[in-house]
C-alpha cells in the first residue's frame, strides 16, 4: 500500500489490493479507501484495485493543499491532477493498452468527468461505473438537476454563511476543535442545516435525529467547550483549511461535463439512488439514456448514499460487473 509522489511532491496514499485486471476506484467526499473493502471483497481474487485516499482524508489527510493558482481554489482540478499522475504510475506496472475499469462515486465521478473534459481521460477508460453524480453541479437555464436540485439556492445560502464564518481561519491547518468556542457554537447549527437539507423529501425514520440532536448527550454531561469539541471530532474533515477548500470549491464550481459524457463510447453503468436529494435521479437517468452504451441500475428506496443504504445489493452488483 504505497504512497505515490504527486506533481507538487506531496505523498498521496493509494490502497492496492487484490490481483488480476486493474480497477481504479475514485471515492466520494469524506470517504477513505478502506470503506470500499466490504464491497469489493468477493472480487479480490480476480481484480486488482487501486483506491486513492483523496487529499485531506484517510491516510492522505496530511497532504498539503496545492499552492498553485489553478488548484488552490479548485479541489476537483487538483484531484484530477493527482488521478492523472496515479494513472501514469499504474500504466508503468500494468498493461493498460485497452484501458482501465473505473468506479467513480459522487465527488470521484466529478473528478473523472473533469479528466474526460480536460485530460482526455475517456480514452483510458475500458468501462465506466458512475455512481450517483450529476454532470453539471450548478443549475442553469437548461439544467435544473444539479446539486440539491430545486433546493440549490437554499444550499448555496448555507454554504455562503459557512464560508463567511470560516474565512478568517481558512489557512488554519489545525483540527476544527481548535476553532474558538464562539465560532464552534455558530458553525454547528449551520452544519446541522446542511445535513438536514440532505434529508428533505426522504422518508424519515422515527429514530433518526438531526446532527445537533444526536449530540445533546454531550451537552448534558460536559461543559460547552468540551461538548463542541466532541461534535467536531465526528466530522470527516481533519483540518479547517481542508474544510474551507472543499466548501469553497463546490461554491465556485461552474463546470458542465454533459457534452463530454455524451461522447463517451465505452460501456458505462449508472448506479442511481432513486431518492437522491443531492443529485435528483431524473436528471441522472436522462443523461444515461443519451449515452451510446449505458445501462441503468436504479436503487429504489435509496438516496445518494446508496452504497451504505443498500450494501448487499451494491456488493452483488459490483461482483457481477467486475466479472466481465
Q: Region 32-49: what's the mean pLDDT?
A: 96
Q: Residue 314 corresponds to which cell in the numbers above?
A: 451494491
- Provide the whole-model pTM: 0.90
Going by C-alpha positions, the residue among 27, 179, 193, 214 that lies closest to residue 103 is: 27
Going by C-alpha positions, the residue among 159, 151, 115, 112 that lies closest to residue 131 is: 112
Pairwise CA distance, residues 126 & 140, whole Å: 31
> Does 313 score more than 50 pLDDT?
yes
> Which band of pLDDT confidence, cut at 50, 70 and 90, is reported for residue 4?
very high
Q: What is the pLDDT of residue 214?
A: 43
Pairwise CA distance, residues 120 & 320, whole Å: 28
> Does 28 score more than 90 pLDDT?
yes
Q: What pairs with residue 51 in β-bridges?
A: 15
Any idea how long the chain is? Answer: 324
Q: What is the pLDDT of residue 218?
A: 37
Q: Region 256-261: what's the mean pLDDT?
A: 96
> Which band of pLDDT confidence, cut at 50, 70 and 90, is reported for residue 273?
very high
Higher-pLDDT residue of 236, 143: 143
Contact by Cβ (8 Å): 98, 272: no
Within its chain, how far is the Cα of 78 from the centroid? 13
Cβ neighbors of 153 (< 8 A, separation 6 or more) are none
> Does 284 score more than 90 pLDDT?
yes
Domains of the chain: 3-136+255-323 (3.40.50.1820), 149-251 (no CATH)
Cell numbers 481561519 label which residue? 169
Going by C-alpha positions, the residue among 200, 206, 223, 214 that lies closest to residue 276 is: 200
Pairwise CA distance, residues 231 & 251, whole Å: 24
Q: Kindly report which listed range (216-225, 226-235, 267-276) carries the lowest average pLDDT score.
A: 216-225
Pairwise CA distance, residues 76 & 111, whole Å: 6
Q: What pairs with residue 23 in β-bridges?
A: 49, 101
> Which band of pLDDT confidence, cut at 50, 70 and 90, is reported for residue 1?
low
> Does 176 score more than 80 pLDDT?
yes
> Does 203 score more than 60 pLDDT?
no
- Would strands 294-299 and 268-273 be described as parallel, antiparallel, or unpaired? parallel
Q: What is the pLDDT of residue 221?
A: 40
> Does 301 score more than 80 pLDDT?
yes
> Does 205 score more than 50 pLDDT?
no
> Does 209 score more than 50 pLDDT?
no
Contact by Cβ (8 Å): 136, 110: no
8-state DSSP, 143: B
> Which band of pLDDT confidence, cut at 50, 70 and 90, is reported for residue 212?
very low
Q: What separation in angstroms does the CA of 322 have from each of 18, 56, 176, 289?
A: 13, 29, 39, 22
Edge-first strand order for the sheet with 268-273 is 3-5, 11-18, 47-52, 21-26, 100-105, 125-131, 268-273, 294-299
Pairwise CA distance, residues 196 & 283, whole Å: 22
Q: What pairs with residue 3 in β-bridges?
A: 13
> Does 67 score more than 50 pLDDT?
yes
Amino acid at each position: 500500500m504505497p504512497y505515490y509522489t504527486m506533481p507538487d511532491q506531496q505523498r498521496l496514499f493509494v490502497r492496492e489490493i487484490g490481483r488480476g485486471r486493474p480497477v481504479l476506484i475514485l471515492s466520494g467526499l469524506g470517504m477513505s479507501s478502506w470503506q470500499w473493502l466490504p464491497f469489493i471483497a468477493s472480487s479480490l481474487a480476480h481484480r486488482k484495485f487501486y483506491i486513492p485516499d483523496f487529499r485531506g482524508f484517510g491516510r492522505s489527510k496530511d497532504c498539503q493543499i496545492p499552492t498553485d493558482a489553478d488548484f488552490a481554489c479548485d479541489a476537483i482540478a487538483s484531484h484530477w491532477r493527482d488521478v492523472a499522475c496515479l494513472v501514469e504510475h499504474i500504466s508503468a506496472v500494468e498493461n493498460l493498452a485497452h484501458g482501465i475499469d473505473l468506479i467513480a462515486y459522487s465527488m470521484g465521478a466529478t473528478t473523472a468527468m473533469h479528466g474526460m473534459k480536460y485530460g482526455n481521460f475517456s480514452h483510458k477508460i475500458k468501462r465506466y461505473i458512475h455512481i450517483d453524480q450529476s454532470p453539471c453541479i450548478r443549475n442553469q437555464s437548461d439544467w435544473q438537476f444539479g446539486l440539491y436540485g430545486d433546493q440549490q439556492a437554499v444550499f448555496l445560502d448555507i454554504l455562503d454563511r459557512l464560508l463567511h464564518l470560516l474565512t478568517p481561519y481558512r489557512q488554519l491547518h489545525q483540527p476544527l476543535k481548535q476553532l474558538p468556542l464562539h465560532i464552534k457554537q455558530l458553525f454547528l447549527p449551520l452544519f446541522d442545516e446542511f445535513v438536514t437539507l440532505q434529508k428533505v423529501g426522504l422518508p424519515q425514520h422515527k429514530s433518526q435525529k438531526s446532527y445537533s440532536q444526536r449530540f445533546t448527550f454531550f451537552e448534558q454531561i460536559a461543559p460547552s467547550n468540551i461538548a463542541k469539541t466532541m461534535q467536531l471530532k465526528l466530522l470527516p474533515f481533519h483540518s479547517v483549511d481542508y474544510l474551507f477548500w472543499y466548501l469553497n470549491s463546490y461554491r465556485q464550481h461552474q463546470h458542465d461535463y454533459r457534452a463530454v459524457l455524451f461522447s463517451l463510447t465505452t460501456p458505462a453503468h449508472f448506479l442511481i439512488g432513486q431518492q437522491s436529494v443531492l443529485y435528483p435521479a431524473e436528471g441522472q437517468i436522462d443523461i444515461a439514456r443519451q449515452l451510446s452504451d449505458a445501462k441503468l441500475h436504479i436503487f429504489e428506496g435509496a438516496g445518494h448514499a446508496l452504497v451504505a443504504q443498500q450494501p448487499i445489493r451494491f456488493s452483488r452488483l459490483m461482483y457481477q460487473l467486475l466479472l466481465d
